[in-house]
Amino acid sequence: MQLAFLTGSPLRDSRFRGIWAGGGIYFIGNAMQTMAASWMMVELSGSSFLAALVQTAVFLPMFLFSLPAGVLADITDRRRLILLALTVQAAAGILLAGLSLASLTGPGGVLFLIFVAGSCTALMSPAWNSTVADAVPREELPQAIIATSVAYNGARALGPALAGLIFSSLGGPWNFAIAVLSTLFMMHSIRRWPPAPHPPTRLPAERLWGGMLSALRFAWHSHTVLAQLVRAAAYSGAGSALWALLPIIGQRQLGLGAEGFGLMMGCMGTGAVIAGSLIGKMRARFGLEALVTTGCVSYALVMLIAALSRWHLPVYLALVVGGGAWMSVMSTFNTATQTSVPPWVRARAVAMHTLAALGAFAIGSAFWGALSDLAGLTVALCSAAACMAAGPLMARQFPLRMGEARDVTPATPSLQDLFLDKEPDPADGPIAVEMAYRIDPENTDDFLSAISQLRAPRRRDGATFWRVYRDLADPHRFLERFIVTSWADYLHQRARATMADHELESQVRAFLLPGEVVTMQHYIAER
């Protein structure tokens, strides 16, 4: 079988290859640590709920910190951010390994230190993912995302298998020590191939809170991005049941030890790697929705087999299919999200995707673990399978699509039409902007239809209010009015316009009467 992600162009580049390899080693260490912690929790407590909480401790930080981390990745030095997070993670790993070797930690200590490690991963992930995106041309971005997903899921195949062997031969704490080494390797990779600095800009720096609001505003007013986030959350929340309950399936249902559990995790990762080698061709041939529908149905069947089978082999084979389905669907959501946003919000888009997917994963893991303790393993997995099978029904309301180049290519902002003798201070505001259009009244309906298309990009890029008014004294005159919170936000809004936005503006200006131009006025709130 030819591995498309290996023969594809991104891995021909030494910079991308180095970043990719560093991430792969890091993911292997994280997978080993998570597997060891999950199995250690089973041995320490025997509780489905506490075992599932390991997944929650790993992924809940993604829900809590991904968006602030995405903003920081877009507005600060990404190299320093990544290295700081990795340093804290290495320290937490050393403490976890040391306490475990000395038999001084219980379930609470394991969960706390795993949560710290997960928090560090959450803080550096948007910066690292945007570094990967910046290392390749836009046309190679889908293939780069697939390669990254393969590295991540390949780690989930190799990591647990290695962890099971080490757990049974040397003990769980040594998995934590290896995870520390993988973190140090990632630090070396970032120092060797650091993220490119952000392009120089004369615009005022964004604030953390304002940057978070900008990201949320963009997602809310972009139906394309919002649909992808909702679909990713639903899929991840339902699918988390299998990942979270895998230790319980192995121990109680199949009677396996740590090595067997590692093999089960390895089967999931192996399926993901196989899917990664084929997903580009499958996506091109069948389309996004067909691929996602097939993935949902396949994953639901895998959960039913895991819930009902008492034989090892059917479960192992089903898990390979489950890993492939998981990889295919989640990679599709991730690729669709990243290709649908302009560069200024890309790290934040990655963060929002992570927040949606892994936040739902964390919450779902806790829910399915609790349901398993209350109603039984079979009931929990069958319920999750039903939710997963219903996922394709969301396609009508939340359709998926890839972004086109014109949708995300930045347009060159111009400040020449501001006509201001003196600009306000960046923090001054709110700012009201009025743009006047003179058109033929007979074209009113068509004009209003065209200008209404500007609502979404104005709101996505920073406006808190937008409306069109007709001049009662002059039937030829219409006003477009929008408000932004500060002068700095207004300048950022202008800089965020894409080529697609400029095309919409050109369509609106086509309705102007001969010889007329759009006039613009700016107002600042005084009371």
pLDDT in tens, 64-99: 888 888 888 877 888 999 999 999 999 999 999 988
E strand or H helix that includes residue 520 = strand 519-524
Give 375-408 pLDDT, tens digit per residue. 989 999 999 999 999 999 998 899 988 766 667 7
- Considering the domain architecture, whether residues 312 and 457 belong to the same structural domain is answered as no
Pick left, alpha or beta for residue 465 (phi over 0 → left; psi -120 to 50 → alpha; otherwise beta): beta
My answer on whether 435 and 350 are in the same domain is no
Question: Are the C-beta atoms of 67 and 215 separated by less than 8 Å?
Answer: yes
Q: What does pTM read for this prediction? A: 0.74
422 located within any domain: no
Domain count for the chain: 2
User: 452 and 363 in one domain?
Assistant: no
Residues 435 and 396 in one domain: no
Which of 374, 407, 440 terminates a domain? The answer is: 407
Cα distances from 484 to residues 458, 508, 526, in angstroms, run 10, 21, 14
Same domain, 80 and 29: yes
CATH code of the domain containing 295 = 1.20.1250.20
What average pLDDT does the structure give for the chain?
A: 85
449 and 392 co-located in one domain: no
Is the per-residue pLDDT at 5 higher than 60? no
CATH value at residue 519: 3.30.70.100
For residue 4, what pLDDT band results from cuts at 50, 70 and 90? very low
Q: Are 236 and 372 in contact (CB under 8 A)?
A: no
Report the 3 state secondary structure along 234-262.
Answer: HHHHHHHHHHHHHHHHHHHHCCCCHHHHH
List, for residues 341-374, the tens digit of each pLDDT value: 887 888 788 888 888 887 788 788 889 988 998 9
Is 129's pLDDT higher than 90?
no
Q: Are residues 360 and 448 in the same domain?
A: no
Residue-level pLDDT at 414: 57
For residue 46, being part of any structural domain is answered with yes
The least confident of 163-167, 454-458, 523-527 is 163-167
Token readout for 141 is: 């971005």
Q: Determine the pLDDT at residue 471.
A: 94
Whether residue 425 lies inside any domain: the answer is no
**Separation between Cα atoms, residue 377 and residue 339, nearest integer Å:** 39
Residue 492: domain span: 431-524
109 falls within a domain: yes
pLDDT at 3: 47
Q: Do the domain assignments include residue 201?
A: no
Residues 379 and 517 in one domain: no
Q: Do both 357 and 453 map to the same domain?
A: no
- Percentage above 70 pLDDT, the chain: 93
Mean pLDDT, to the nearest integer, of 457-462? 92
Q: Are residue 357 and residue 471 in the same domain, yes or no?
A: no
Find the mean pLDDT for residues 497-506: 90
